[in-house]
Chain A
């Protein structure tokens, strides 16, 4: 079973700063099968990045994704107030077919 571990659990930052969020897979997965989502308080999740590094439609270019081995990274440059939210990574595979990391919360310092 593939497990996704996100770190850190919570980050306190100020608008204008940059941040890197981590998602580590317990075993190798294709970069095509890794996505990132943003969930603002009280809202449904929104797709940010798919295929590890491709921005979804309408996502600003301050969001970027990368991969190195089993380590996937979401980078946000120049945080805007609306970026303070919870971020999840998600994998597509065979066992289980889909699963999520536990999430990283970005909060305003």
Chain B
């Protein structure tokens, strides 16, 4: 049974870099895309971007200039970095396994940007 476990810093100051990692347990990275989604307080879901097991990436155009998603196949993990964060980046961030649908989700990480 595939499980995703995520972690990273939860409190950042404006202009800092957000960094989150998601470990995949019980399955391989191969054959899927590995996705990051975020949810601002009281709002809906926003797709951030994704990476394949071989490192191909796709990003939301609205975030592309600040986002980087990478994969570490040796550790069965993938990671998200968002540079120059502002209060608008405050959200719960989720990792997920993607085919056409998002079948498995991490538990979510609350990230707050505040001075």
Chain A interface residues (CB < 8 Å from chain B):
32-33, 35, 37, 44-47, 50-51, 56, 88, 90, 92, 96-103
Contact = CB atoms under 8 A, between A and B. Distances in A.
B105 A100 contact: no
Given A96-B61, A100-B47, A45 B94 contact: yes
B47 A44 contact: no
Given A45-B105, A96-B61, 4 more contacts: A47-B103, A88-B45, A90-B101, A92-B101
Interface of B: 35, 44-47, 50, 58, 60-61, 94, 98, 100-103, 105-108
Contact of B100 (A44, A50, A99, A100): A50
Contact of A45 (B45, B46, B100): B45
Contacts of A35: 100-102
The 10 A-B residue pairs with the shortest CB-CB distance, nearest first, are A35-B101, A50-B101, A44-B105, A98-B47, A92-B100, A100-B45, A97-B58, A103-B44, A102-B44, A33-B100
B102 A90 contact: yes
